[in-house]
Amino acid sequence: MDVKDYYKILGIDKSATADQVKKAYRKLAVKYHPDKNPGDKVAEDKFKEINEAYEVLGDEAKRKKYDQFGENWKHYEQHGGRAEDFDWSQFGGGRRGGQSRSYGGSSAEDMFGGSGDFSDFFEQLFGSGFGRGQQQQRSARGRDIQASMEVSLEDAYTGGTKQVEVNGARLNIKLKAGLYEGQVIRLKGKGGPGRKGGEPGDLLISIRLSAHPQFELKGQDIYTDLSLPLYTAILGGKVTVQTPGGSLSMKVPAGTDSGKVFRLKGKGMPHHSKPSEHGDLYLKAIVHIPTQLSDKEKALFEQLAQMEK
Q: 302 and 186 in one domain?
A: no
Q: How many CB atoms lie within 10 A of CB 145?
A: 18
168 in the same domain as 117? no
**Domain with 291 in it:** 216-308
The total number of structural domains that make up the chain: 3
Distance CA 243, CA 221 (A): 12
pLDDT tens for each residue of 196-228: 777 888 888 889 999 999 999 999 999 999 999
Q: Determine, yes or no, domain membership for 299.
A: yes
Residues 185/134, Cβ–Cβ less than 8 Å: no
Among 158, 177, 209, the domain boundary falls at 209
Residue type, 266: G
**What residues contact residue 46 under an 8 Å CB cut-off, 6+ apart?**
28, 32
End position of a domain, from candidates 161, 188, 209: 209
Percent of the chain past pLDDT 90, that is, above it, reads 32
Question: For residue 83, what is the domain's CATH number?
Answer: 1.10.287.110
Domain check: are 122 and 171 in the same one?
Answer: no
Q: Are residues 62 and 99 in the same domain?
A: yes
pLDDT at 27 over 60: yes
The answer on 17 and 121 residing in a single domain is yes
Whether residue 140 is contained in a domain is answered as no
Q: Is 244 found in the same domain as 152?
A: no
- Which residues touch 122 (CB under 8 Å, ≥6 apart)? 4, 52, 55, 56, 108
Ramachandran angles phi, psi of 108, nearest 5°: -60, -35
186 and 164 co-located in one domain: yes
Residue 59 lies in a domain: yes
CATH of the domain at 234: 2.60.260.20
CB atoms within 10 A of CB 7: 21
Instruction: Decide if 205 is inside a domain.
Output: yes
The reply to whether 200 and 251 lie within a common domain is no
Whole-structure pTM over 0.85, yes or no? no
Q: What is the pLDDT of residues 135-155, one digit of tens each?
A: 344 567 888 888 888 899 999
74-104 per-position pLDDT tens digit: 555 554 555 444 555 555 544 333 333 332 3
Same domain, 129 and 150: no
- Whether 1 is in a domain gets the answer no
Asked which of 209, 235, 254 is the last residue of a domain, the reply is 209
- Per cent of the chain over pLDDT 70 is 77
- Calculate the average pLDDT of the chain: 79
- What values do phi and psi take at 167, rounded to 5? 50, 40
